[in-house]
Structure 1
Amino acid sequence: MTISRPARKAAPAIAVAAIGALAITGVAHAGLDDTADGRDSATRGDVRAPVAPRGPETQPAGSRAKPNILMFTVDDMTVGDLPHMPNLNRLVVRQGTRLTQGTAPTPICVPARASLLTGQYAHNHGALTISGAGGGFQAFEDANTLPVWLRKAGYETYFSGKYLNGYGMANPRYVPPGWTGWRGSVDMSTYGFYNTRYNINGKVVTRSAHNSDVLNGFTTQVIGNRAKSRKPWFMWTNFVAPHHGGRQESDDPSRNLVKTTMPAKRDRNTFRNVGLPNDPEMWVGGGSPWAPASSSKAFRSAVREANQQRLESLQSVDDAVGAAVRKLRRTGELKNTYIIFTSDNGFLVGHHNRDGKLVPFDRSLRIPMVVRGPGIPRGRAVSTATTNPDIAVTIAGIAGARPGRRVDGVDMLDYWRSGTDYDRPVPIEAYPVKGGRNRIYSGIRYGRWTYVRLPGGKEVLFDRRTNPGETRNVARRKGNAAVLKELRRLDRGYRDCAGTSCPQASTFVPAG
């Protein structure tokens, strides 16, 4: 699959026709509420024609013509973890907008991060999975990515933390194109949490502190150093927490059951009294090919401990968010800086009897996503879906940069500012973890519906409004025949889309 592949001219017509039909069948006007976990609460109003939203502010405020952009990403954070981060909630969520339908179209590390760098779906950027064919750092062509576009638009660009899986194993001094300042962690030390090796602009050094604290220092240092610069900057700080890693400790469960992460020492056991989420799909099996029928008592206990440590590991990330916002305020740059916080993919912690990701359930596909900045409403929740590819395209739009690739995502800034929520089709897909260019599933996420098609032809349809836990496959219900037909059509039209043949703003329909 190549970046230069011609767009399929028939796809936009397919998409428009399908959306019209979906409006009739009730798919297009099904919206999601803005509760803490974004579960559906009621069907929205009548469908109207797609309309471009008008944001409350067309130019960013601040002393520069162009704003700074600070993006924090974490690894494997679930939407259920968001309430446990006090600095993030106080300084970003309450001062900005929570995007309740943040979505990872391919919910696993490498393709998600490559989408953040390219604005493309996995089948176009080619970094499909973790290792093997189409997997890891070696599968990704990074000569023409977001930082390259931003540099051409006059930005300084800075990166620190985890890059793509496998980075640095062949050449630990390699610095990807486009970055003014580079502080990438070198695999496999990335997952050790302590004594991580970093490539700092071509020189490899080891830092003994917990890597979230090291990235905290890198971030605030850049903010301080650039405070008097006339150039705007983009910085991406990419934490490995709450991904599993680190050494085995006395209170860890057996790794034959689950793998755990490593919190900073000051945060160990601070969440010992916090239980697992109380979601309808917790420890519920069956209903789809991805939900084991049962789970053992030992596995459930191990998942509870692993989840505790995940929350504890996020506290040092939360410290870093707080330190960055305070530094921006002290330097006078806060009002002229967009702050974006998100995860690469979601994660299941006992949902559907699983611990992990990549499956097409809500808790795997949906990711925490928050934005604060010029013109972004305070204290709002927006249910218009924003994907990993959209983030790259939106950042380029904020910066006035021209993407050097045919991007699949949409500039979402006006939608984040808008008072209207929109439904949109989002193509989803996944590939084998250990390598392979053939999908293990494809599908469409649209409003209340998730449609998935497996290679053998089996279809799964979830109605997240009536069954938010996604424990029932309703593909064979007669009443869903029209919905199923149109979702099939969308899947066929978008499965191999590229550029403008992917769902664009013209496919957005006001949700109510």
Structure 2
Amino acid sequence: MSSSTAPSSRSVRRSGRLALAAVLSGSLVAAGCTGDGSDAEQARKPAYHAPERTAPVRAPAERDVVLTDPATPAPLRGVPDRPNLLMITLDDAAWEDMQYLPHVQELLVEGGMTLEDGLSPTPVCVPARATLLTGQYAQNHGALTINGEGGGFTAFEDDDTLPVALQDAGYDTMFLGKYLNGYTEEHVDHQPPGWTVWRPTVDFSTYNFEDPQLLVDGEVVETHTYSTTLLSDQSTELLEDPRREQRPWYLWLNYVAPHHGGPVEDDDPKALYPDDEHALATTVPEERDRDTFADLDLPDKPNMFEADPSDKVVVSAAREPVAQQRRAQMREAHQQRVEALQSVDRAVARTVDTLRRTGQLDDTYVVLTSDNGFVLGEHNLEGKLWYFREIVGVPMYIRGPGIPAGTVSRTPVSNADWAPTFAALAGATMGREVDGVDVLPWLDARASRRVVPIAGWPIKGGRTPLYTGVVVGPWTYVQGRRGQPELYYRSVDPYQLDNLATDRRYRAKLKELRRISREYRDCAGGACPSEFYR
């Protein structure tokens, strides 16, 4: 597959960027949050109109199998020897957010390939980022969650990671931005092995968008530059450095947006409802972007504030109704997330322009993804961690030599795949056994299914998972701590409204997926699923 030839029939041509004006004109109402309980406040509450209940999921047909015929790889052509590798990671970005980023649409959707089945097997900050570093699922790299037992920076053994392998293969390796939660000033004397350039933000300033601290050459530097701008400036400096011409390089660039942070603004729920200790935390847009999406409502889709969540047996919060005041807070959070991503969108454009201007773009693979997805109201939930598609599914794009522009790949790609994929591109050997695979030979193949184990652990720590399960193409199966199952068939139920675990028509599928889940729940290395199916 060459960049100079037309995409094969196995790639889907994507036409044009999304029309943002059309998106914005679909907003239902501009809702404010005064917090005073007045009639004016009531009138400005989010105008959410629940869609009609969708038709019941139909009975399975013979073609509704779990595992289809094996797929055949289609090796990528035109790969340069030892290309440059750029990974751009967003923090808590969801697929829903990408439509508002015109530069991403132009440079990565139209200029690269959209990986529409990107997955984060443990969709929360620390384990997801450790998986990107190691190619291992959380149960194998040990950083299971954010805090407490098995959580944070101290739970992660940082030897034999991707940068170590790349450095051994002759690459310059550069880190910039958010690392793992808990990397505080107490730990800055420890630089993880494998990094030629090490410039992480320092907790807890990571989430201070206006005054982040950056570790530069072993010194904590106080800055007063908006976080995204700071990281964009730093990455431009690194990419323009003449040393980039001497050796191939790998840069992992980690933006903090649209994760929540400070300082608190006047229209934030934390400011409007000071007596509510559970008021929703929001992100911080750059000054120029504030209130530019003030008319943006929450998405109007069937699983938003799900009306009948009685079949959601694993997540108790999904069965709780969301009060109107909370919906207003979610609406404000949604607006600010989209506003904060505008600076990231400009930063992506600046990075691609820098690569083009310095003559490096044609020899560089650019991957953009998020550590996890995010929900604000879907299934009555907010945040991440759980197995619903908006959370476990992550935005994922790639552009570079041999990647046909403007195409979409249906191949499932998990964040465990990027370490072995980058290692293969660099001719490097990972020093630890990986659970993911080199996905480049599969991106243009007729591969729409594979087994991807998923799991989530308590945010505050603990080694007993809240759920385990698998995603296999359109099938999602999970089992909670008490053995309670949920089964979704997204081909006919894309919003995961109907748990089919108690539907007798799906008994055989439930049994098969339960068996697959148990087989791979604790897999490691070569014992993890690596097969792709049509």
Fold similarity call, TM over 0.5: yes
1:53 and 2:80 are equivalent in the alignment: no
The structure-2 alpha-carbon separation of the partners of 1:342 and 1:415, relative to structure 1 and needing over 3 Å to count, comes to same
Q: Equivalents in 2 of 1:385, 1:226: separation in Å? A: 37
Aligned partner of 2:327 among 300, 314, 331 = 300
Query: Structure 1: which 5+ residue stretches go unaligned?
Result: 1-31
Partner of 2:395: 368
Q: CA deviation at 1:227?
A: 6.4
Among 281, 287, 291, the residue aligned to 1:265: 287
TM-fit CA distance, 1:229: 2.1
Query: Does residue 136 of the first structure (1) align with residue 146 of the second (2)?
Result: no
Q: Does 1:113 align with 2:129?
A: yes
Counterpart AA for 1:344: D
Q: Quote how far apart the aligned CAs of 1:468 are.
A: 1.3
Q: CA deviation at 1:422?
A: 2.5
Partners of 1:419 and 1:52 in 2: how far apart? 6
Corresponding residue pairs, total: 469
SS in 1 for 2:319: coil
**Could you report, residue by residue, the CA deviation over 1:235-288 in whole angstroms, capped at 9, with x for unpaired residues?**
010011100001211111136231100011111111111221222201114130
Q: Residue in 2 aligned with 1:250? A: 266
- CA drift of 1:420 comes to 2.1
Give the secondary-structure state (helix, strand or coil) at the position aligned to 1:508: coil
Counterpart of 2:144 in structure 1: which amino acid? L
In structure 2, what residue type is equivalent to 1:119?
G
Answer yes or no: is 1:427 the counterpart of 2:449. no
Shift of 1:415: 1.6
Question: In structure 1, what is the equivalent of residue 471 of structure 2?
Answer: 445
Q: Select the structure of larger CA radius of gyration.
A: 2
Conserved? CA contact 2:14–2:406, under 8 Å: no
How far apart, in 1, do the equivalents of 2:13 and 2:452 lie?
A: 18
Q: Could you tell me which of 367, 378, 384 is aligned with 1:340?
A: 367
Distance 1:445 1:403, change over 3 A: same
Match of 1:206 in 2: 222
Matched, 1:70 2:86: yes
Question: What is the alpha-carbon distance in structure 1 between the residues aligned to residue 452 and residue 108 of structure 2?
Answer: 26
Identical residues among aligned pairs (%): 46
CA distance in 2, matches of 1:54, 1:487: 28
Deviation at residue 139 of structure 1 after TM alignment? 0.2
Distance in 1 between residues matched to 2:303 and 2:136, nearest whole Å: 31
The SS at the match of 1:423 is coil
Unaligned regions of 5+ residues in structure 2, if any? 1-11, 19-56, 271-276
Change (3 A) 1:228 1:121: closer
Distance in 1, Cα, partners of 2:144 & 2:279:
27
Aligned with 1:386 (options 393, 413, 424): 413
Distance 1:341 1:211 in 2: 18
8 A contact 1:33–1:383 mirrored in 2 = no
Structure 1 counterpart of 2:75, which letter?
A: G
Helix, strand or coil: the match of 2:292? coil
Helix, strand or coil for the counterpart of 2:269? coil
CA distance in 1, matches of 2:305, 2:263: 28
| Aligned-residue offset at 1:33 | 13
Contact 1:175-1:201 within 8 A present in 2 as well: no
Query: How far did residue 315 of structure 1 move?
Result: 0.9
Helix, strand or coil: the match of 1:428? strand
Once residues 34 and 461 of structure 1 are traced to their aligned partners in structure 2, the CA distance between those partners, rounded to angstroms, is 31
Map of 1:88 onto structure 2: 104
* Matches of 2:219 and 2:240, distance apart in 1: 22
Match of 2:461, SS state, is: coil
User: Match for 1:60: what amino acid?
Assistant: V
* Structure-1 residue corresponding to 2:509: 483
Task: Specify whether residues 272 and 347 from structure 1 end up closer, same or farther in structure 2 by C-alpha distance, changes over 3 A only.
Answer: same
- Whole-angstrom distance in 2 between the partners of 1:341 and 1:243: 16
Question: Is 1:149 the equivalent of 2:165?
Answer: yes
**C-alpha RMSD of the superposition:** 2.2
Q: Tell me if 1:407 matches 2:434.
A: yes
Q: Tell me whether 1:508 sits opposite 2:532 in the alignment.
A: yes
Partner secondary structure for residue 89 of structure 2: strand
Give the direction of change, closer, same or farther, for the CA distance of 1:150–1:465 in structure 2 (3 Å limit). Answer: same
For the 8 Å contact 1:113–1:164, the answer to whether it is kept is yes
Compared with structure 1, are the counterparts of its residues 102 and 298 closer, same or farther at alpha carbon in structure 2 (3 Å cutoff)?
A: same
TM-score of the two chains, using structure 2 as the length reference: 0.84
The verdict on how the C-alpha distance between 1:455 and 1:228 changes in structure 2, with shifts beyond 3 A counting, is closer
CA–CA distance in 2 between the matches of 1:92 and 1:334?
A: 13
Q: Residue 396 of structure 1: SS of its match in structure 2? A: helix
AA partner of residue 256 (structure 1): H
Offset, 1:421: 3.2
Distance 2:493 2:13 in 1: 14
Q: 1:172 aligns with which of 188, 194, 206?
A: 188
Q: Which residue of 2 aligns with 1:19?
A: none
**2:484 aligned partner, one-letter code:** K
Range 138-147 or range 286-295, more displaced: 286-295
Whole-angstrom CA distance in 2 between matches of 1:428 and 1:348: 18
Amino acid at match of 2:164: V
- The answer as to 2:511 corresponding to 1:492 is no
Q: Does 1:274 align with 2:296?
A: yes
1:442-481 superposed matches below 5 A: 442-481=468-507
Give distance in 1, aligned partners of 2:532 and 2:447.
9
Change beyond 3 A, Cα 1:190–1:350: same
Q: CA deviation at 1:34?
A: 9.0
Residues in 1 aligned to 2:405 and 2:508: alpha-carbon distance in whole angstroms = 39
The answer (yes or no) to whether the contact 2:411–2:445 under 8 Å persists in 1 is no
Matched, 1:331 2:353: no
Is 2:326 the counterpart of 1:283? no
1:351 aligned partner: 378
CA distance in 2, matches of 1:348, 1:420: 31
Shift in Å, 1:49: 3.7
How far the C-alpha of 1:170 sits from its partner, in A, is 1.9
Distance 2:464 2:14 in 1: 36
> Which letter does structure 1 place at the counterpart of 2:368?
F
Distance 1:118 1:339 in 2: 19
User: Quick one: distance in 1 between partners of 2:459 and 2:68?
Assistant: 41
Deviation by residue 1:123-166 (Cα, 9 ceiling, x = unmatched): 00000000111000000010211100000111100000000000
Q: 1:271 is matched by which residue type in structure 2?
A: F
> Secondary structure in 2 aligned to 1:73?
strand
Query: For residue 177 of structure 1, what is the amino acid of its counterpart?
Result: P
Structure 1 counterpart of 2:327, one-letter code: R
Letter in structure 1 aligned against 2:148? G
Separation in structure 2 between the aligned mates of residue 192 and residue 359 of structure 1, nearest angstrom: 26
